[in-house]
Amino acid sequence: MTPVSSKLYTDDVSLLVVLIDTNPFFWNSVKSNLPFSKFISHVLAFLNSILLVNQQNQVVVLATGHNSCDYVFDSSVAQSQNQRAEHLLQKLEEFVDKDESLCREESVDGQGFSLLSGSLSMALCYIQRVFRSGPLHPHPRILCLHGSPDGPGQYVAIMNSIFSAQRSMVPIDACVIGTQHSAFLQQASYITGGVYLKPQLLDGLFQYLSTVFATDLHSRAFLQLPKPAGVDFRASCFCHKNTIDMGYICSVCLSIFCKHQKKCSTCGSVFGQAQAQDSSTPPNPNPKRKTPMDA
């Protein structure tokens, strides 16, 4: 007889939250490489395969747009099995239209970025709801299929989501389909123990997804998954949202600034007393080295 444990699900039951980048600026720029239609067919096949391997697996898809993000698919909501794809595509189209209509108004932060912080938070909220639904829940993980460049303005929000994912032990996997590496997602997978991968050949996206990202958390303990070559730990400053190598850190609340400030804009601590007392020292003696943000 099998021993009893509080965990009633088998180890390989997973809840996969997939964040799809639907930023039109990005997809317009990489048209030649992997058109969105092809990309989505790879993703649909991947989602089908996740649902295929275990009856209890659950997939939630979130679209990350330029101005908004929304749930476009949830496999736990009852629907006919053979209309999954139609359902998803229809919702996705509605979402893109809505996103576009928002775009005509004021943009959130500059051109070309997508709202990763928003969709990450929504994914975590969903997972929290699953956690609180009772003692019976599958193992959740997040997969970001992201292509747009990092929006430095979202730095704080994204870092906060990463840390809350770390706290609730939710790994964030990242598959970067853009041309550049994403520092945010590198940090996200590094901190949460997920996998970061930037596929070389985008034509075979499904193969990458099925070999690397379809691996459930239980099997990951026995497998050698791709490890990042290096992680870009650079942070963005809180004042101008620039990515910086060196900067100033508030000794009270650890806010980051690119220039010397008189008062911390986050916690209101007043800096520079030492300099005021001793005017002979130069105003900028040694900018503090920013420490890596690993926890």
The residue (of 48 and 160) whose beta carbon lies closer to another protein is: 48
Tokens 């997920």: give the residue: 194
Least Å from the CB of residue 46 to another protein? 8
Least Å from the CB of residue 207 to another protein? 6
Nearest to 40 by CA among 14, 77, 73, 69: 73
Taking the chain, what is the end-to-end CA distance rounded to the nearest angstrom? 41
The residue (of 75 and 114) whose beta carbon lies closer to another protein is: 75
- Contacts of residue 53, defined as CB under 8 A and 6 or more positions apart, other chains included, come to 12, 214
The residue (of 155 and 196) whose beta carbon lies closer to another protein is: 196
The residue (of 42 and 146) whose beta carbon lies closer to another protein is: 42
Rounded Cα distance between 14 and 12, Å, is 6
List of residues contacting another protein (CB under 8 A): 1-4, 6, 8-13, 44-45, 48-49, 52-56, 81-85, 135-136, 206-207, 210-211, 214-216, 218-219, 221-225
Give the type of residue at 215.
T
The residue (of 222 and 230) whose beta carbon lies closer to another protein is: 222
Q: Which residues pair with 196 in a beta bridge?
A: 174
Least Å from the CB of residue 93 to another protein? 18
Least Å from the CB of residue 35 to another protein? 18
For 257, phi then psi, to 5°, come to -130, 150
Least Å from the CB of residue 41 to another protein? 9
Rg over alpha carbons for the chain, rounded to the nearest Å, is 21
Rounded Cα distance between 34 and 177, Å, is 9
